[in-house]
Structure 1
């Protein structure tokens, strides 16, 4: 294992994160296809190449939804999202019984809307999870590990082959596959009554004091990837997004933090590193009235914070095992959760709103828009390949969604649209170190324009001199900031875009 004396970075330690992904709808409950089950012996030989939206290099912008429909496709198009994560395939739902010849229930997949999304050039990150009863290592736990015996592995490979043959081909054209969801969570942390329905985990093994089940998962990740790629060599595979609820260096009680290292160790020792095209993790910040939890998390670390701390940690582990260059990173779930306690446990918010209300407090909605800009701009600067905001669709639980229940946009969605219009096709230049650490400040270029994005991590007002070449200023929602004639300074707090020539 990595020497615990080495000071790495900080990953998130949000206790409530175990609860977040429980809002994922069970696979297949919404928008089931109208098409009947089809014979799994149909084969395809032609696969479309991986393309990017509008012919550009793959963008960081992405979303996750718990279902797919035309209205969500329209909303995703409006923010020019490239990545679209979706819990697409349940082995348990598609092949509930072990019979010979195999019988697959493809109607358990949202086939029509899946094809509709891919026809709009979204890169679907297709999650494959939940083992059928006959393949479960731990009975009653479809989220958990698969049995490690020759017969079960053969069944797994047979299923994956049929899956890849069908869904790598038109009209689905799936190119990016993800094995599981938050596999570093263990069944010990989940009550047994929830084992059958929990949408995340559960490959973590509390009895494995070295790597928490990471090596075992790594073996099946290699099987998963090699089987998919035997059908479509151009496929890209990523691990299930890691919860990373703690850091094994900065938290004395964090055995689950070694899961990723176990996975990498297995792949490294078994000629399996080519099985992993992206390393995926999840990144959430809790809102308790402000955004301080993100920037203050584990301040003692040289690389603190939820998003950047985790990315540093994963890269450090990969570097330790000689992976050079390290695998690119994906944030397959990220966002802000409304976690502030209701009065009388806390003082009332000025608006009177509460996190438990059907609608989010206005203060939260304002900060959610701030945080969306924080997350994406920093991810671009950090070289993260994609961030999928959880969720695009309405989600009242913790108010994580970007849309209200009537599909009208929240401020965060409007901020997403404007951000994408400004920097989605821009070239990242670098940080503006003259403003750091008081401000976070980043420069992009687009044609003859320079675009600065600045905000105050302490969420207080800070005045800066108007830079040379100033043309215009916009707030996070795209509203013009009108400066007084002769003004020489501009105030920065919430994200601001400065347009310079």
Structure 2
């Protein structure tokens, strides 16, 4: 459990030095009462089966313009533009007082779960970039690994565990490297296929119990040391159609004849048998719904998005612990998502899925994005944009409350998304990923800072350190001001997305005005007080 978090002492002192102490004391008291009431309510409402909320909640905030704080000038009036090629506008931060935060209930199924930084690997070994994953402080690894049709190709009577020798070697590597594996189980053997010839497709009704038996045996085999697998994902993109390769890596449970649920109801039948089997074998195990592609329409214009509704309408919501979905950056995908649901495809899909879950009574269902990436399609001119996207995508994953965020992939590639080249040399996005984990190491997400239009700013901290991650969203430069009183030394580290930077003081921007002014662009910056 984390300790309750406060902003740096200097900010608290600034806020306590208000000209109207009585008024602010009253507000402080009222907010504290609110926190206590919220704590009692949350303690009775939180589903303790799954997940402690790894990010500290902002329990109460009292904000005021900095002109209301003794010893600080109204910097909105005195701030001047920083010389630059595309300056557009000033952004003003407000002084903020945090009270002790309320944390959600501790989850015994996942004590000490790491931060959400994850990666998908085709094989968990050095040939596929394991050493680079460790150096980049990646904490989770998604592994599309265990195939039912490989272990039981001829029938349910016997298990060919020897066929998984490479898988077992890779899982051992993950444990030794300190990576938490999310393991996919998929692949319908010919004797159990509902759609003959399609291993990616659904299971015959009368063979669902055999799949449950197989899943139970898998979990029993790998739940304990030396493997310690606790997170299981049943199929990959099951909402897809059986229109591609019959042995594809994605699932193909989608059913165009099911106008309401697109095949999700039949997938729910599988969950109803497999989920109890997993829990009986390992009560600590967590079951992920197969990572949903979650596209609006299939290639034939039918509503693919209804698959999740089909799962929930059929009662499948009680038979998975974590909602898993995919969100790639692509102009074709983003247009219809962003127009209606959010500023980015990650935020948009997350918001839409949460609305669907809430409509069926599962508003608090934990969520993971188990595939994300920026597609360059082999265009090297997009590599810097991809590096920007790594940082902004992960920060927005924090702000969206996701438990895990998986980039696809490390060496394994999909339309230019990989972080490594085939020779294992890093792309700019890999360097940005490593810098991000270094800058945010040991910090918890706090809040999105109201930094004005076209500027996105997020705050991370742990009670002794505070780091702001900032970028613009309109293609222009903007100036963001940090009062020197916010830093014990009056100075700030200002680092680019690769972690390269210098210490800035009051005069670094050409003005002596009691603040440091940082000119921000679409390429993210990290700003941190120098202790």
Q: TM-score, normalising length from structure 1?
A: 0.76
- Provide the rounded CA distance (Å) in 2 between the counterparts of 1:153 and 1:404: 41
Match of 1:279 in 2: 323
Q: 2-side partners of 1:50 and 1:92: how far apart?
A: 30
Match of 1:122 in 2: 179
Quote the offset at 1:169 in angstroms.
Answer: 2.5
Please state how far the C-alpha of 1:364 moved relative to its aligned partner: 1.5
2:529 pairs with 1:500:
yes
> Structure 1 residue 434: deviation in Å?
2.6
Contact 2:201 2:251 in 1 (8 A): yes
Q: Give the structure 2 partner of residue 417 of structure 1.
A: 434
Q: 1:474 to 1:313 in 2, by over 3 A?
A: same
The structural deviation recorded for 1:111 is 1.4
**Residue ranges of structure 2 left out of the alignment (5+ in a row):** 1-107, 512-516
1:263 to 303, 311, 321: 311
Query: Does 2:444 align with 1:427?
Result: yes
2:385 alignment counterpart: 367
CA shift at 1:394, angstroms? 4.9
Deviation at 1:57, TM superposition (A): 4.3
Aligned to 2:136: 79
Gaps in structure 1 of 5+ consecutive residues: 1-48, 340-354
CA distance in 1, matches of 2:275, 2:249: 21
Which deviations, in whole Å up to 9, do the C-alpha atoms of 1:183-213 show, x marking residues without a partner?
11112xx24xx21x21112000000000100
1:478 equivalent in alignment to 2:499 = yes
> Which of 322, 326, 334 is equivalent to 2:361?
322
Q: 1:338 to 1:287 in 2, by over 3 A?
A: farther
Secondary structure at 1:180's aligned position in 2? strand
Cα RMSD after superposing both structures: 2.5
Q: Quickly say closer, same or farther: Cα 1:439–1:130, change in 2 above 3 A.
A: same
- Show the counterpart of 1:185: 240
The 2-side partners of 1:431 and 1:303 are apart by 15
Paired positions, count: 408
Q: Write out per-residue CA displacement over residues 315-345 of structure 1, whole angstroms, 9 at most, x where no aligned residue.
A: 1111111225x21110111111114xxxxxx
Q: Is the 8 A contact 1:475 1:481 kept in 2?
A: no
**CA-to-partner distance for each residue in 1:355-384, whole Å, 9 max, x for gaps?**
2xxxx51x3211111000011000101101
Q: Which residue pairs with 1:31 in the alignment?
A: none
Preserved contact between residue 287 and residue 364 of structure 1 (Cα < 8 Å): no
Q: Say if 1:95 and 1:105, in contact at 8 Å, map to a contact too.
A: no
Q: Give the one of 373, 377, 383 matched to 1:335.
A: 373
Which whole-Å CA distance do the structure 1 matches of 2:366 and 2:344 have between them?
A: 19
Report which of the two structures shows the higher radius of gyration computed on alpha carbons.
2
| C-alpha deviation, 1:284, in angstroms | 0.2
The alignment's TM-score, normalised by the length of structure 2, stands at: 0.72
* 2:294 matched residue in structure 1: 244
Equivalent pair of 1:211/1:258 in contact (CA under 8 Å): yes
Give me the whole-angstrom Cα distance separating, in 2, the residues matched to 1:79 and 1:267: 40
Shift of 1:58: 2.9
